[in-house]
Amino acid sequence: MAKKKVQNQKQKNQKNEQQDKISILDHLDQNVFAKLKEKQSELKMEAKKQQELEEEQKRLERKQREKNKSFEDLFNESNLDWKKFK
């Protein structure tokens, strides 16, 4: 008996949630909805541009660090076996 009451309440809650979701979308003016979608796409584009700028800055920093390395650092990082060339 108690299980039926719990199941009935769950079903009622699900129906209410579905009605709330539908009613909110129905009450929104199509113009407002379009503006929200446009704003969402703008925010995504801005986030993408920001990420690209950060990647470019990191790339430039790596390039600058590589440029400032001494011969010894470059030599130590080399994978070549210099004994073969002697």
CA atoms within 13 Å, Cβ hemisphere of 8 = 5
* Helix locations, the chain, DSSP H: 2-27, 30-67, 71-77
Backbone phi, psi, residue 17, to 5°: -65, -40
Q: What tokens appear for 19 in the block?
A: 């009605």
* C-beta neighbour count of 41 within 10 angstroms: 10
Q: Residue 32 and residue 39: Cα distance in Å, rounded?
A: 10
Q: 11-23 pLDDT, tens per residue? A: 666 666 665 556 5
Q: Which pTM does this prediction carry?
A: 0.48
Parse the chain into domains and list their residue ranges: 30-68
Q: 21-60 pLDDT, tens per residue? A: 565 666 667 888 888 899 999 999 999 999 999 999 999 9
How far from chain centre, in Å, is Cα 2? 45
pLDDT value, residue 46: 97
